[in-house]
Amino acid sequence: MGYENSAGLNVNNHYGERVIGGTEGQLPSAGAEREVVINFDGNSLGKKTVVPVGAVVTEIVDSFTGTISAATVGATDISGADGAVANYVTIGTAGDLTVTGPTAGSAIVKYTYVA
C-alpha cells in the first residue's frame, strides 16, 4: 500500500480499503452508560447485539433518514424510549437489539446496565 504526505503536516495517509457508513456495534463506555450504534447505510453487515437482562433503555437518538417502524430487544418494544424518565424501558429477558424502518444513517440506542 502507498503512503502520501499531501497535507504538509508530516502525517502519512495510508491508502487502502475504506469503510462507508461509520461506526457500528457497541461503543466503549465508562460506568453504567452504554451505547449501541446501528448503521442503516448500504454496506452495513447487520451485526447482532444482545442487550442484557436488567438493562434500562433510556433513549434512541435519531440521526437517520426515515422513521423507525419497530425497535425491540427480543420481544420487548423499546421504540418509546425518548430520554424522558417516564419512557425508560427495562429489559426483562435478554434478546437481540433490532431496529427497522430507516433507510440511511445511524440510530444510537442508549441504555444503562450495572453488571
CA 52 to chain centre: 15
Do residues 96 and 48 lie in contact, with contact meaning Cβ atoms separated by under 8 Å? yes
Helix/strand/coil percentages in the chain, nearest 5: 5, 45, 55
* CA distance linking residue 108 with residue 105, whole number of Å: 10
Burial of 84 by CB count in 10 Å (0-12 exposed, 13-18 middle, 19+ buried)?
exposed
Which SS3 state, helix, strand or coil, does residue 114 take?
A: coil
pTM of the predicted protein model: 0.70
Neighbours of 89 (CB within 10 A): 20
Each residue's pLDDT, cut to its tens digit, for the chain (115 residues) gives 455 555 555 555 555 554 555 445 666 666 788 888 888 876 655 667 888 899 999 999 888 888 889 999 999 999 999 999 999 999 999 888 988 888 888 888 999 988 7
